[in-house]
Structure 1
Amino acid sequence: MNKKVFLIGMLLGTLPLGVAAQEVLKPDTIHTELRSDFLEELGDTTDLVVAGSGTGNWFISLSGGVNSLAAEGNRDYDKFIDRAQFSLRFNIGKWFTPVWGFRIQMGVGKLSGHHFTGGIYNIHDPLYDHSVIPEGMKPYLTEKNGHTWYHSKFAYMDWSVNLMTDAVRWFTKEKKPVGLILSAGPGFAHGFASRGVSASNSFAFNAGIMLNMNVHKNWDVFAEVQGNIVDESFDNHIGGQPNNRNRTIEGYAGLNIGVSYKFGGRKFARYAKVHPVTYESVRYIQPPTKVEVVQPAAEEVVTAFAVRFLIDKYNIEDDQKLNIDRMARYLKRHPEARLELTGFADKETAYPAYNMKLSKRRVDAVRDYLTKECGVDASRLVIKAKGDTEQVYSEDYRWNRAVVMRIIDNENKN
């Protein structure tokens, strides 16, 4: 019995020591805060650029303008511009990368045209043999140059799904205020019954070219030329004979001017296979063995993160500024901490002297951003430039186009 009491007493006596040891060994504040700030999903390539989650990079746009029908006989009666009618377009879409996106669009408007009948009328109406003039068409028939002309005007509605690409970003990775956007994709068009002819339907192919200008984080203005290719019978008339067409397609095209709203702006994340620079291990010195005075263990924390650059560049891209901002917030929360900035260049960029200057420009750019934009005192920064004399990442030489930021304490100043 006494033995049991003795064992229970020892167990209860050790509980405070266990609690104290847990206090000493809990994860350090620096590691935890940086982990919550910097942990990201990493991709498999140094050039993977993806859209953000949620509403990021989704957009809607509305535009208005004019378009005109290009069909058989029209050019013999008047000019393309003379047949211009009002049109309206609505789009919703998303950019997946700075180069590629998609949209779904709907267009409405009117089309007008002129064609001589050639004895063929209302090609879509099964009640006619196509040689009988419907009563509703007769008020819109006139004579000119020895031909009987029919003057059509009808409303239409079309839908299409487009693949989009910004041609400006084919040649630069930097964000530009002006874009040249090409689009193309399949669709469907419906012509409403009008002036004695029946409604018509046609599969369509839509293509366009847009000049886009960014005027605000969320707003763009644009001008777009686009057109639709449809079946020759879309305007209820075909050239040749009913069973012997002289061509198979016609179309309509026009110019629209409009505005676009981007939900959450247009932001992208560039991910890299850079796990060696995301974190370095955090090492702890074991707590003192003396039980009488329990003190927190001394800690040595070395945490590193890289600011990546494009080849032969030292300007900081927007996604990398976000990483520096996070580090600056950490420094403001921990005034005792200091930051070491080490610039690197890869050996493939140029010769050693040039690479040394490039790495110095890169580290100066990060220092200037921290001091001028983030308000970090320059005395808390340790600046180094290594050029290509050290290749800190051996897996892929491109990773060395970087400035490595390391948190150091006041005792570790070299």
Structure 2
Amino acid sequence: MKKIVLLALATVALCGASKANAQEVTYVEDCSQGVLMNRNADNWFITAQGGANVLVGYHDVKVPEFKNRIGAQAGLFVGKWVSPVFGFRFGASWVMPKGATTADGTFRKMNDGAFDNGYYPQKFMGIGGEFDVMINLTNWWCGYKPNRVYNAVLHGGAGARWNLRRAYKDGNLEWRASHDDNLYANIGLQNNFRVAKHLDIFIDLQAEGIDFDKAELLPSVNAGLTYHFGKNEWNCPVTAVCPTWKYTDAEGDALVANLNAAQNEIGNLKRQIKMLQDENNGNSRDKGSRVYADCERLATIYYPINQSSLSAREKNILRSVAGIMNQDTNKQYLLTGWADNYTGNDEINTRLREARVNGVKNYLVSCGVAESQLDATINNGNLEENYGADAAPLDRAVTIQVKK
């Protein structure tokens, strides 16, 4: 009874120390696992932009000076990011390209004379609607980061444009319908820079393919602002961060030794309890008899790192094991030498395994166990494979088990 009380007190003290040294598990968002989808009302934005374009058509290269080919344009869009990678936008665009045409050209500037080369300047104004699909290349290739400053966004789409030309009416030069409207497709790369939580500035390099009588190209450079409404970030799955094992090898060996001693003490107490129960039930055995546990693994002998010699405590355990083996000389036992694979190298670890298992075998033989009962071998794996490198001290051992 006194032993049981002492063991209980020791267990309480050990548990208290463990709790004091334990670190709490923390929970963090891990965006490497993906993101959680937001509500439909989240991740909306509005974009305003303006810039310059150059019309590249059949006659436009005939303009004598390049500066006379630079036109203006602007756009206003509303859009939504469906995920950190994919989104869309829709809105209106306005363009005023310049170029060159022939005398009968639809968009000829009626109040200007011809160039020296015989071509006439042209200018027209287009207003239309547009829909674009957007791909955030940075989030796609590098993973989502909520505080990233730069994002490269590829966008492409199509639209329809109503065109106006300068024409005379009753002697007055006015903007009038050209009756030469067109469809267009566009592709661009928007370079976004985050300046505030809800505000981006950007430079957009874009090109349009215009469907006139002959296909024409309208490259442009734009600058603008994007304002994000409400929630514009993405939540990531929450994962647990477990504390790392901070014990040294020496501390780990000491813990293993304490656990082994506690296990031996618990085994002794269980046998004493069983004997007392048998006595109370009238099934008491002779006082000289012993009670042994019938288990597959009879014992495990542990070693400090890089050691193969037996300590006094381990020799005491082996003497008890020899007593059990001598009770039934018909039983055979498998002795297996182990070493952890996280330290040393293959040559050193093989030598340790062989030295450990041969040392145990020789000591058991010296205690009277027949050598024919003992089969000594080594195992190149880890004894506690499921627990990884943190349990390396548990792999430095010799296991003794009954052969089946």
If the TM-score is normalised by the length of the shorter chain, which range does it land in?
Answer: 0.3 to 0.5
Structure 1 or 2, whichever has the larger Rg, is 2
TM-score, with normalisation over the residues of structure 2?
0.46
TM-score, with normalisation over the residues of structure 1?
0.45
